[in-house]
Amino acid sequence: MSATTNPDPEPGAPAFIPLEANPELMTKLIHTLGVSPALQLHDVYSLTDPDMLAFIPRPALSLLLVFPVSTVYESHRMAEDNTLDEYRGAGEPEPVIWWKQTIRNACGMMGLLHAVSNGPARKFIEQGTTLDELVRKSIPLPPRERASLLEKTPAVAAAHKEAASVGDTAAPDAQDDVDLHYVCFVKGGDGALWELDGRRKGPIRRGELQDNEDMLSERALSLGILKFLEREGRDLRFSAVALAASLG
């Protein structure tokens, strides 16, 4: 599975090869960028079957949804964004760190960055790594400058290119239009559920969570992915990937 293009990239904007939604590949990528081997990505085969969910270590620190970009989704996204102000947050007080997507076909990378840089997952970023430096430099910056910093971090582009080139399916070209997209759900520093998507006007707060609730808890799922799927309808190309402790 690969990910969609940024809808309206700036003329001359950089482009990435779309990233396959492959947990093994994605795990190698986050480890290359600087996440501790203590974490990995896991396929989520069911969002409602307790027996299937039991295979995933808990807590689930973040959850990535990969889905087809439909007319229903685009209509809802635009309608909701019309009610929101452009996000201008910056600095340590932010409950989440969010990057605006300005790189074509980079939504897989954006999803992973949001997954590993927020909530408890941030503690697993190893000091002195590419990701550690990117997060530290990004936190004080407003969104436009953050996006520019990401574009000018060649180690991120190189790691992404290596990962995207070795998936199970033939990699599309960086300039191709691909109709699958990534959205990330995380627990923010304020304890709430946040939806993070670089295509939106900013991070979206979806509701309160209790201290003991993670991204696969009943409430988090009902506020996030299940509500999303209820609106969109079922499609065989929906898939979910959770960030949690490594197995073995």
Q: Which of 221, 7, 214 is nearest to 100 (CA)?
A: 7
Residue type, 18: P
Strand pairing report for 239-245 and 62-68: antiparallel
- Quick count: other Cβ atoms within 10 Å of Cβ 74? 11
- CB neighbour list of residue 123: distance below 8 Å, 6 or more residues apart: none
- What are the residue numbers of the active site? 107, 181
CA angle 202/203/209 to nearest 5° reads: 160
| Cα four-point dihedral sign 210, 138, 30, 221 | positive
Q: How far apart are CA 104 and CA 102, in angstroms?
A: 6
75, 176, 144, 120: CA torsion to nearest 10: 80
Residue 60 to residue 240: CA distance in whole angstroms = 12
**Which amino acid belongs to residue 135?**
V
CA distances in angstroms from 227 to 142, 211, 218, 222, 242, listed in the order given: 30, 21, 12, 6, 17
